[in-house]
A and B are shown apart, each in its own frame.
Chain A
């Protein structure tokens, strides 16, 4: 039972550390893959092979055993030849000697042939076994070479996968961190809003006296400094001419209703200014006759220069719009 004291503290997973270690591992694995040299395979040669190890260690014993058999059979033949020679009374004779010699030659020949055949068979067997060994070794070497290549490829694949995982972890870490930064910025913005409001209220408090001054000013009038305005004016000639005409628009100015004309001035546009007296009953003859207006232009002259400023009344008299000249 594991007590509290036996609990091993495990480092919490850290995506940054994992990514960095993964990237480092992937780079190391890739570097190893780049440096990988496949196992070299060389063909074995029979000529360089010591065939002795493939020889039957009992070859000589087999030869010796066979030789004993041959010699035993030869001895039996000699015995039989001796018996036959005794019976024929020729034992020890020349024919007996020739026969014995023949047997000896046959024995020697047989022994030589058998020994050579056994040694030849042993050599061929050793050669065949050596070739099989060479072929087996070649096959094993090729298999090892292939497994080494497969292992290297597998390690490269694992390195690439580790690199991908490291990259994935890095991206996840980045995304989470950006989210944290954005949310943290929102929190800071909230605090800043509080501070801004506090500053604004402080400014309002400090600006309040100034603002109350404005209140009084506003209460005193539309303008900050209340005032009444008195305007005095010294009228000019044209002011005089237009005096009383603006309310009516057109004013009677036909020369046929005027008398005692006296030229008193000239406008910049060339029209002459006259003083006159109205003829008797002018106000009945023409319309819009202002008997107090005894200075101005003559409608007939205006008609030549600015015909648009002249109109004809119901009785055919000419009127002038002073605002249009």
Chain B
């Protein structure tokens, strides 16, 4: 539409009475939740190599040894971190790795390098 329009408009938002109580309660709960902070996951993150994979790698190493490209009896998994066993129920376990310790180290490193920043950050979650 062309032409001059003019005029003004204001909007006022109001919470209905019936919604006031649950809304306030919900906000309070959100604030409580905010104080909880971050709860790290310390379970398994990465599955370890399966026995068949390890055997295949050892075969490759043996092949290299047979052709004179590696020391005889060399271990294909040498240098790899040892897996942890995690129960999956029924007496069964799977081998895997957790990044929990790496996370803790990284967090501690951050706190050591930037203690003020870390403190201010942590205070965001305090009541």
- State yes or no: do A and B come from one complex: yes
Q: Give residues 61-89 of B contacting A (CB, 8 Å).
A: 62-63, 66-68, 86, 88
Q: How many inter-chain residue pairs (CB < 8 Å) link A and B?
A: 161
Closest A residue by C-beta to B7? A236
Judge whether B101 is part of the interface by a CB distance below 8 angstroms: no
Distance in angstroms between the alpha carbons of A236 and B4 in the assembled complex: 8
Count of chain A residues with Cβ under 8 Å from any Cβ of B? 57
Closest B residue by C-beta to A181? B56
Distance in angstroms between the alpha carbons of A203 and B9 in the assembled complex: 45
| Interfacial chain B residues near A183, Cβ < 8 Å | 52
| Interfacial chain B residues near A213, Cβ < 8 Å | 26, 29-30, 33
Q: Are B47 and A195 in contact (CB-based, < 8 A)?
A: yes
Judge whether B115 is part of the interface by a CB distance below 8 angstroms: no
Q: Are A217 and B7 in contact (CB-based, < 8 A)?
A: no
Task: Among B1, B7, B26, point to the contact of A233 (Cβ < 8 A).
Answer: B7
Q: How far is the CB of B3 from chain A (nearest CB, A)?
A: 4
Q: Are B1 and A202 in contact (CB-based, < 8 A)?
A: no
Q: Are A238 and B5 in contact (CB-based, < 8 A)?
A: yes
Majority SS at the chain A contact face: helix
Q: Give residues 6-65 of B contacting A (CB, 8 Å).
A: 6-16, 19, 22-23, 25-26, 29-30, 33, 36, 39, 41, 43-57, 59-60, 62-63
| Interfacial chain B residues near A227, Cβ < 8 Å | 13-16
- Identify the B interface with A (CB < 8 A): 1-16, 19, 22-23, 25-26, 29-30, 33, 36, 39, 41, 43-57, 59-60, 62-63, 66-68, 86, 88, 94-96
- Identify the A interface with B (CB < 8 A): 14, 16-17, 19-20, 23, 173, 177-178, 180-181, 183-185, 187-189, 191-192, 194-195, 198-199, 202-203, 206, 209-210, 212-213, 216-217, 219-221, 225-239, 242, 267-269, 271, 323, 325
Can you offer 6 A-B residue contacts whose CB atoms are under 8 A?
Answer: A16-B62, A177-B59, A188-B53, A212-B29, A220-B19, A268-B2
